Amino acid sequence: MILDFHTHIFPENIAHRAVYGLEFTGRVVAYTDGTLEELRLSMKEAGVTHSVVLPIVTKPGQFRHINEFARSITHEEPDGDGLSIISFGGIHPDSADYKGELKIIRDMGLKGIKLHPTYQNTYIDDIRYERIISFATELGLLISIHCGRDLGFPKQVNATPSRIRRMITDVFPGGCPGNLILAHLGGHDMENESEQLLVGGNYYMDLAYILRLALPGQILRMCRNHGIEKILFATDSPWSGQKEDVDYIRNIGFTEAELEQILYKNGARLLGLPL
């Protein structure tokens, strides 16, 4: 089994517009059209059995619609094709009732939240994020955070490794409990700073949009120094191809035992899925 811990899809009525707009601003070409059906086709082709969908709330008023969509597509039990979709919820740092909204996400049965400091135009060490992260942790929610640059906003970096480290110190002075997931190996296009400041901490890192872009030797070194048990296979689909990333990670030097953990066991353990 293979678990992709970082994917994005959109409701069918807005998927084409959303993906086209992001292709234009980021100067990238998507691997799917951003719909659930094409994610499923991608999973089948790649041999991916579980995908975690990470919705991004870019305006506080989107909260209800985005999280209702997240709940509607979530099914942990594999369907007739052997595929499982698990969506996190989304929340905006400008929420007027962040505690109430986080409780709604928990009560919906969603296992975590996605924060994207660049799209939400807020620094990750801002008090608004720190309060959300602290209370989400109290509720037992996982927290996935976009780290480093985003192709759509190359000059705006709201979650640098140094700011992430400061946030973790502020929120968890006694040590991080291990519910954070730092996307893009702690900093897309900022791997050197992430390796210096973040590798080795008590949180997970995912490999979304890092495979096939960062140096293979650095990926191996960072993953092993951080702890293979805290590394999650992830693609950032539709912005990277699931099949291409599965093929690539199998051929850059990880042992079979390491691949078993990265490709499924670590994510399954984190989500409470059967091992």
Answer whether residue 171 shows pLDDT above 90.
Answer: yes
Is the separation of the CB atoms in 262 and 249 below 8 Å?
A: yes
Residue 49: predicted pLDDT: 98
3-state secondary structure of 142: strand
Number of domains in the chain: 1
Question: pLDDT digits over 45-67, tens only?
Answer: 999 999 999 999 999 999 999 99
Residue 25: predicted pLDDT: 86
The band of 102, judged by pLDDT with boundaries at 50, 70 and 90, is: very high
Residue 22: predicted pLDDT: 87
Torsion of Cα atoms, 166 then 172 then 177 then 182, to 10°: -20
Domain of residue 72 covers: 3-271
Q: What integer is the mean pLDDT of 66-95?
A: 97
Alpha carbon distance 228, 232 (integer Å): 9
Give the CATH number of the domain where residue 126 resides: 3.20.20.140
Alpha carbon distance 199, 140 (integer Å): 24
Query: pTM score > 0.95 for this model?
Result: yes
Number of Cβ within a 10 Å radius of residue 235: 31
The band of 182, judged by pLDDT with boundaries at 50, 70 and 90, is: very high
Residue 151: predicted pLDDT: 85
Please report, rounded to a whole number, the percentage of residues in the chain having pLDDT higher than 70: 100
Q: What integer is the mean pLDDT of 258-269?
A: 98
Residue 154: predicted pLDDT: 82
Q: What is the mean pLDDT of the chain?
A: 97
Q: Which long-range contacts (CB under 8 A, 24 or more apart) does 104-109 make?
A: 104/67, 105/67, 105/141, 106/139, 106/140, 106/141, 108/67, 108/70, 108/71, 109/71, 109/74
Six-digit token string for 186: 């702690």
Is the separation of the CB atoms in 199 and 222 below 8 Å?
A: yes
Is the separation of the CB atoms in 142 and 183 below 8 Å?
A: no
